[in-house]
Structure 1
Amino acid sequence: MHTTLVGGHRFVPPSRMPALKLYYFKIRGLAEPIRLMLADNGVEFENIMFLKDEKWFESKKQFAFGQVPALKEGDMEIPQSGAIIRHLARKLNLTGETEEEKVFADFFSEGLRDIHDKYCEIIYRNYEKKDEFLATTYPAEWAKVESLLKKYANGEKFVLGDKVSYADYLLFEELDIALILSSTVLDAFPVLKAYHARFAKREGLQAHIAARNYPVNNNGKQ
C-alpha cells in the first residue's frame, strides 16, 4: 500500500485503504460517528449489523471483550469506538496538524463521550427523568461545549477551525440525537445550532443519512 505525507502525517487515500468491516448493532449508537466519518470521506466499508438476539450472543464470542463496535481491517481487529475512530482518523489526516490541535480534539471528544453516557443513562434507565435532563443536564453540558467550540474560528467553521477532524463527526451526531430528544434543545446555543445545520449540509453525510434505515437506540426511546 502506498501512502503520501500530508501535513507531516501518513495519509492513506480512501481508494487504497484495506477492506473495512464495521460490526455493530442495527442502531446508530456508538458506531454512527464512525459511519459518518467514513461516508463523508468516501471510504467504502461493509456495515455489518446485529440484532440483540440469540444469534448475537453466539456471535459476540469472536470479538475482543465480547463487544461491538469492532472494526476489521484486513487481518487486524480493532475494538472500542474511540480506538476505531482515532485509528481511521490518523489514516485520513483527521486528527489535527499540531500537537495542540490533536490534544484539543482528543479531550473535546472525551467530553462528548461523557455527555453521551449521560444521554444513555436517561434513554435506557431513567426515561421518566427526561424533562429534568432537558432542563438541567443538557443546558449545563451544551454551554461547556459551545464555549470550547468558540476556541477556533469562533465556532463558525469546524471543531479545529478550518480543518475537519474526527471530533466533528462525534459532535454532529451528539447534537443530532439531542435535537431528536427535543427540537428546541439548542435554541439557547446559537453557535451549536448553526454548526449542526451547517455540517448537516455536507454531501457525503446527506447521502448516508438518506440511506440509513435504523433507529437511534435499541429500546425505541429517543
Structure 2
Amino acid sequence: MAVPQLYYFDLRGFGEYIRLLYLDNKIEFEDIRYNIGGEEWPEVKKKMIFGQMPALKHNGQEIAQTGAILHLNGSNEEEATFLGMFFEGVRDSRMKYVRFIYVDEETRENLVQKTLPEHLANFEKLFKIHSGDFIIGNKTNYADYILFEELDVYHHLDAKILDKFPSLKAFWERMWKRPNLKSYLEKRDADRVFINAIEKGLD
C-alpha cells in the first residue's frame, strides 16, 4: 500500500503540525516540500483542492485543510468537542502571531507581553481540566501537536514566555523529549528551518 504524501512548503508553518503527529506516531509518510517562490508550486497549485497546502494524497484521495488531515477524535463526543475547541483556540492564537509577522498588526513587545500571554492563560486553564500529561489524559491527540508547535514558536519569540504557565511549559518540555520527535526537533533547530516565509522577530 502506498504511503501518504504530505505536500507543503519547505518551512514549518501549518504543515508542521501534521509532520509532528505522523513522526511521533510512527506513521510512514512522504514529506514533499516546495520552495517558497520556486517554479514548481504555481503548477502544482492548479491541481490542488482549494489551490492551497497542506494537502495529503493517499490511495487516490486528496484531503485539504490542516484540521481535516489532523482529525483524530477523542474517545467520546465530549472529548471530541473539547479537542476541537482547543484546536480552534490555538489556531486563533496563531493568527495573532501570523498578523504580527506578515502585516505588522502590532508590536513585538505587545504580542509577547500582552496578546500571547492572554491566550496562554486560557490554554493553561483548559489544560488543567483533564488530568494527565496531554490535553486529554495520557495519550496524545491531534490538538496536542498544534499546541506543542505553537508553544515552540512562541518560545522562539521569547525564551521566558512560558515561565508563568507551568502546565504548558511542562507539556512543551515533555513533547521535546518524546523519543520519536527528539532527533527530528533537534535537527530542525540545527538546520534553522524557517517557521514562516520570513523570519521576522525571531532573533
- TM-score by structure 1 length? 0.84
Q: Is the 8 A contact 1:28 1:216 kept in 2?
A: yes
- Aligned to 2:33, the other structure's residue is in SS state strand
- Aligned to 2:6, the other structure's residue is in SS state strand
Name the aligned partner's letter for residue 207 of structure 1.
Answer: S
Name the aligned partner's letter for residue 122 of structure 1.
Answer: F
Aligned to 2:41: 56
Question: Which ranges of structure 2 fall in alignment gaps of 5 or more residues?
Answer: none
Aligned to 1:123: 101
1:188 CA displacement? 1.1
Q: Distance in 2 between matches of 1:64 and 1:130?
A: 35
Q: Distance in 1 between matches of 2:93 and 2:60?
A: 33
Aligned to 1:98: 76
Is residue 2:152 matched to residue 1:167? no
- Aligned to 1:220, the other structure's residue is in SS state coil
* Deviation by residue 1:151-208 (Cα, 9 ceiling, x = unmatched): 001xx51100222111111111010001001101111111111111112110011132
Report the RMSD for the aligned CA atoms in angstroms: 1.5
Q: Percent identity?
A: 43
Is residue 2:133 matched to residue 1:157? yes
- Aligned to 2:86, the other structure's residue is in SS state helix
Aligned to 1:31: 15
Aligned to 1:4: none
Is residue 2:71 matched to residue 1:71? no
Q: Distance in 2 between matches of 1:202 and 1:73?
A: 27
Q: Distance in 1 between matches of 2:110 and 2:56?
A: 36
Aligned to 1:215: 194
Q: Distance in 2 between matches of 1:200 and 1:150?
A: 20
Q: Is the 8 A contact 1:40 1:202 kept in 2?
A: yes
Question: Which ranges of structure 1 fall in alignment gaps of 5 or more residues?
Answer: 1-16, 90-94
Q: Distance in 2 between matches of 1:97 and 1:216?
A: 32
* Deviation by residue 1:36-94 (Cα, 9 ceiling, x = unmatched): 000001111111111122332222111011101000011000011111111xx3xxxxx
- Aligned to 2:14, the other structure's residue is in SS state helix
Q: Is the 8 A contact 1:96 1:163 kept in 2?
A: no
Structure 1 residue ranges, 4+ long, deviating more than 4 angstroms after superposition = none
* Deviation by residue 1:109-143 (Cα, 9 ceiling, x = unmatched): 01000001111111111176111111110111100
Q: Is the 8 A contact 2:9 2:36 kept in 1?
A: yes
Q: Is the 8 A contact 2:20 2:181 kept in 1?
A: yes
The alignment covers a number of residue pairs equal to 197
Is residue 2:119 matched to residue 1:141? yes
Candidates 154, 161, 173, aligned match of 1:178: 154
- TM-score by structure 2 length? 0.92
Q: Is the 8 A contact 1:85 1:166 kept in 2?
A: yes
1:18 CA displacement? 4.5
